[in-house]
Amino acid sequence: MAALSEDNQGSAVVGQQRSAKGRAPRIVIVGGGFGGLACASKLGGAPIDVTLIDRRNHNLFQPLLYQIATAILSPADISEPLRRTLGRTDNVEVVLAEVIDIDAQRKAVITRDGAPIEYDTLVIASGSVDNYLGHDEWKMHAPGLKTNRDARKVRETLLLAFERAELALDPQERKKLLTFVVVGGGPTGVELAGAIAELGSFLIRRDFRNISLNELNIILVEAGSGILSGFDKKLADYALKRLAARGVDVRLNTPVEAISEGDVTAGGRSIPAGCIIWGAGVRATPVAEWLGVKPARGGRVPVESDLRARGFDDIYVMGDAALVEDEDGNPLPALAQVAKQQGKYLGRKLRAEAEGKSRNAAFRFRNRGITAVVGRNDAVFQSGRLMLTGRPAWWLWAIVHVYLLVNFEKRLLVSVQWMWTFLTGQRNARIIDDSD
Amino acid sequence: MAALSEDNQGSAVVGQQRSAKGRAPRIVIVGGGFGGLACASKLGGAPIDVTLIDRRNHNLFQPLLYQIATAILSPADISEPLRRTLGRTDNVEVVLAEVIDIDAQRKAVITRDGAPIEYDTLVIASGSVDNYLGHDEWKMHAPGLKTNRDARKVRETLLLAFERAELALDPQERKKLLTFVVVGGGPTGVELAGAIAELGSFLIRRDFRNISLNELNIILVEAGSGILSGFDKKLADYALKRLAARGVDVRLNTPVEAISEGDVTAGGRSIPAGCIIWGAGVRATPVAEWLGVKPARGGRVPVESDLRARGFDDIYVMGDAALVEDEDGNPLPALAQVAKQQGKYLGRKLRAEAEGKSRNAAFRFRNRGITAVVGRNDAVFQSGRLMLTGRPAWWLWAIVHVYLLVNFEKRLLVSVQWMWTFLTGQRNARIIDDSD
């Protein structure tokens, strides 16, 4: 491609510069989620070499993953390539690799396939994985919602269950196919159950002939005595009532005891189901194990007030992987806003240090409010003493979430699809394409 | 879901009506591509029971599949659920099943998992599959582009090749990773090669640091003496020149002799490659075998002028699966517009017959013109003596293809993403999400 090779001199020069300034301190960030990406962005242009490692090539807007599972959006609508965000930041490089260990003595990150990656300062923002409560064998029968692939799999399982029920003559088989079980009554479980109820009623009204609405059976099982435990009781009760009105059978005090192919045992009863989805919480990626420290609750790594891993000088942990307490001693929740604020804080701090300024302020979380969607025009929102329900909460949620998307193109695409779904009920992405 | 069960009375009644009128003639359509869907749509509301069978739940706009492979669009943008198109047509039902045989004596379609589906009249519109020239074992190393899954796989392979090359130090490994081979110089091959050249130059300029444009090696191998054989020589020459200017190495008279993992042997030379894509034509689905007739060229079934399979009274074949000749005795090409026109023709004919009118006109193809895109602002278009190249051809192509999409929502989504890519070069869908 000789005709085009001139264009490349820019990047060739960058490469030379990079090898020439090999002595610049090197910060390695593990994980391109909200925390890692915010940290890397703040370090752009600083006199540091930054390497961001992720096993995927994109930042995923996980709060909307349930909308891929329920056929409203496509993966690309909520996935931003890391290189797109960081591509113009000369001192930040992106490496696609899976981290499997940390060698703190040698100061190197160990990846599955490549050479160890050395650091001067290490930032671990590797997030969390679904917590199967010690039963990892349940995962294959009850996927969670952490990746695009998970969400596509759930979407396909849901849509296939309807297709099969449409043809099934055996009443028991039909009943099983049209029973969908969501495990866990947190925001993920509530949003999924609500969205499946809407998807199901739309499909039955518009797409399918031989299925009636009273055959649809959406069950939300929760081990505790209430749903949305992080919210005020008033809001949790509201959500519970609204879910019931939408046809979701919420079963409280119902711990899951076993899961096998197409069957959940919960509260002593077996529930044959066409789709089982795990939304019962997360645990930290095995960072504590990598560092050889004792994990705190949820596998999280205890950190100092500046996010430094306890017992280390040069390793920081943040986001879902870190245990940070608020002023009352409660652990901060595993939320995007926590990770993002920590990433910005840490990026600013490390940048200041690299520039010779000192910055000793501790991290302080500013709660932007929490929200959970129950369905169209219906959500709960809480920020301190402010509580909203129903339409105002839903619109606030929708506007905030569109705004939080990374760029204008995604905002426009998501808005168009939401408007369409809002006005017509249609689900643009109800495609089954993995079957061979 | 007692609160909602009222809504369902409508569809329950439809179900009862359907079983009561069991004696209406039953037309079974195999395949929900352009032909099958057009035929089913024309039969909506006629006094016939229609069953449309497809192994996928959506109609796929295959002409834009290469844009999924090159990270411009998402599968949902070009996939329309069959039930969305046909959901309001009470006499047409959709069955998700894979057809594996026809029992013409019993007048039944045999599916892989379900009961045989009986017909009075059968319409076969099952299309074509990639033609590996008797070497089906090449498929696993060189996917074609027939389904969303294929396209996602190609996209992932392309993007991963760049990620690996960014980290690779061995010059030979780098060279292999950055060599992309497209087999076949028809419209699919030309569009793919052009789109990969654009994707590659964008990624190298914007996303990657350690790859230079002159390392990128896109090879289009064609067994014949020219590309775009269906086009006028002037247009084919134009496309050849423009591909070369975009850095595509077009190798004519270069038949493929062998394909293994990451290696193509073509014209006696081995080419190690990071991605190999098959675009060397299609052959009909095994309809001739199902019917026990001798297949014509490309495995197609010879049909009468009214698309009736030769030797059958009650079986019609159309689209890529049928061999129809134009006035000069040349077979009609395997194109969407041919299938669509045949579907409409057959739907009208079968409807007229069911309504007691006779309709004996033979099918006549009206050529709407053919087109192939070379890159941004660059295409060739030919309709009879009218020939366009470059910018006018590209704009014509873009407008026509947006118009051909099924509904306003898709038109809007595709337009937004095209505008974005056109103005900024960005590729919204460059995500790798299948890696575990």
Asked if A206 reaches chain B (Cβ–Cβ under 8 Å), the answer is: yes
CA-nearest of A252, A137, A102 to A183 is: A252
Using one digit for the tens of pLDDT, what is the confidence trace for A294-349? 999 999 999 999 999 999 999 999 999 999 998 888 899 999 999 999 999 999 99
Which residues make Cβ contacts (< 8 Å) with residue A343, sequence separation at least 6?
A34, A35, A36, A37, A38, A39, A40, A42, A125, A318, A319
Residue-level pLDDT at B16: 33
Q: What is the CATH number of domain B23-130+283-354?
A: 3.50.50.60
What share of chain A in percent tops pLDDT 70? Answer: 94
B233, with CB counted inside 10 A (0-12, 13-18, 19+), is exposed
Say yes or no for a CB contact (<8 Å) between A214 and B432: no
Instruction: Compute the half-sphere exposure of residue A361: CA atoms within 13 Å on the CB side of its CA.
Output: 10
Which residues make Cβ contacts (< 8 Å) with residue A171, sequence separation at least 6?
none
C-alpha B56/C-alpha A96 separation (Å) is 33
Q: Is the pLDDT of residue A17 over 50?
A: no
Residue-level pLDDT at B434: 62
Residue-level pLDDT at A410: 84
Q: How far B89 CA lies from chain A's nearest CA (Å)?
A: 10
Say yes or no for a CB contact (<8 Å) between A205 and B75: no
Which residues make Cβ contacts (< 8 Å) with residue A430, sequence separation at least 6?
A71, A155, A159, A203, A207, B57, B58, B81, B84
Using one digit for the tens of pLDDT, what is the confidence trace for B127-158? 999 999 999 999 999 999 999 999 999 999 99
**Nearest-CB residue to B209 (from A15, A159, A429):** A15
CA-nearest of A251, A194, A245, A191 to A219 is: A251
Say yes or no for a CB contact (<8 Å) between B74 and A74: yes
CA A402-A421-B42 angle, 5° bins:
145
For residues B116 and B290, the answer to whether their CB atoms sit within 8 Å is: no
Asked if A19 reaches chain B (Cβ–Cβ under 8 Å), the answer is: no
Residue-level pLDDT at B423: 86
User: For an interface test with B, which of A167, A242, A433 has the most B Cβ atoms less than 10 Å from its Cβ?
Assistant: A433
Q: How far B84 CA lies from chain A's nearest CA (Å)?
A: 6
* Chain A residues within an 8 Å CB radius of B100: none
Average pLDDT, chain A: 91
- So where are chain B's domains? 23-130+283-354, 136-280
**Nearest-CB residue to A209 (from B15, B159, B210):** B15
Q: How many CB atoms lie within 10 A of CB A172?
A: 9
What share of chain A in percent tops pLDDT 90? Answer: 80
Q: Which residues of chain B have pLDDT under 70?
A: 1-23, 434-436
For residues B103 and B116, the answer to whether their CB atoms sit within 8 Å is: yes
Q: Per-residue confidence at A350, pLDDT binned at 50, 70, 90? A: very high
For residues B74 and B49, the answer to whether their CB atoms sit within 8 Å is: no
* Chain B residues within an 8 Å CB radius of A74: 74-77
Residue-level pLDDT at B23: 66
- Per-residue burial over A396-415, b = 16 or more CB atoms within 10 Å of its CB, e = otherwise: bbbeebeeebbeebbbbbbe
Q: Is the pLDDT of residue A358 over 70?
A: yes
Q: How far A349 CA lies from chain B's nearest CA (Å)?
A: 27
Asked if A432 reaches chain B (Cβ–Cβ under 8 Å), the answer is: yes
- Known catalytic residue: A353? no
Predicted TM-score (pTM) of this structure: 0.90
Asked if B54 reaches chain A (Cβ–Cβ under 8 Å), the answer is: no
Say yes or no for a CB contact (<8 Å) between B76 and A431: yes
Interface pTM, i.e. ipTM: 0.88
> Which one from A93, A98, A137, A191 is the annotated catalytic residue?
A191
CA-nearest of A137, A144, A217 to A181 is: A217
**Do the first three CATH levels of B23-130+283-354 and B136-280 match, i.e. the same topology?**
yes
Which residue shows structure tokens 């075998």? B289
CA-nearest of B398, B430, B421, B373 to B69 is: B430
Question: Higher confidence at residue A184 or residue B11?
Answer: A184
Say yes or no for a CB contact (<8 Å) between B167 and A8: no
User: For an interface test with A, which of B433, B434, B435, B436 has the most A Cβ atoms less than 10 Å from its Cβ?
Assistant: B433
SS3 A21: coil
Residues 154-183 (B) with a CB less than 8 A from some CB of A: 159-160, 163-164, 166-167
Asked if B57 reaches chain A (Cβ–Cβ under 8 Å), the answer is: yes
CA-nearest of B282, B260, B318 to B65 is: B282
For residues A101 and A7, the answer to whether their CB atoms sit within 8 Å is: no
Say yes or no for a CB contact (<8 Å) between B409 and A432: no
Average pLDDT, chain B: 91
Residues 213-272 (A) with a CB less than 8 A from some CB of B: 213-214, 216-217, 245, 247
Say yes or no for a CB contact (<8 Å) between A81 and B430: yes
C-alpha B108/C-alpha A75 separation (Å) is 40
User: For an interface test with A, which of B5, B7, B8 has the most A Cβ atoms less than 10 Å from its Cβ?
Assistant: B8
Name the DSSP class of B308: B
Q: Per-residue confidence at A23, pLDDT binned at 50, 70, 90? A: low
* Chain A residues within an 8 Å CB radius of B87: 206-207
Say yes or no for a CB contact (<8 Å) between A431 and B2: no
Asked if B148 reaches chain A (Cβ–Cβ under 8 Å), the answer is: yes
Name the DSSP class of B55: S
Q: How far B62 CA lies from chain A's nearest CA (Å)?
A: 13
For residues A414 and A398, the answer to whether their CB atoms sit within 8 Å is: no
**Nearest-CB residue to B83 (from A8, A207, A428):** A207
C-alpha A224/C-alpha A281 separation (Å) is 13
B179-183 and B217-221 strand pairing? parallel
CA-nearest of A205, A182, A337, A198 to A273 is: A182
Residues 336-375 (A) with a CB less than 8 A from some CB of B: none
Class of domain A136-280: alpha beta
Question: Higher confidence at residue A80 or residue B8?
Answer: A80
Listing DSSP states for A54-96 in one string gives ESSSEEE-GGGHHHHHTTSS-GGGGEEEHHHHHTT-TTEEEEE
Say yes or no for a CB contact (<8 Å) between B4 and A201: yes
**Nearest-CB residue to B434 (from A58, A149, A166):** A149
**Nearest-CB residue to B210 (from A15, A167, A431):** A15
The reply to whether CATH 3.30.720.110 applies to domain A24-131+283-354 is: no
Q: Identity (one letter) of the amino acid at A128? A: S
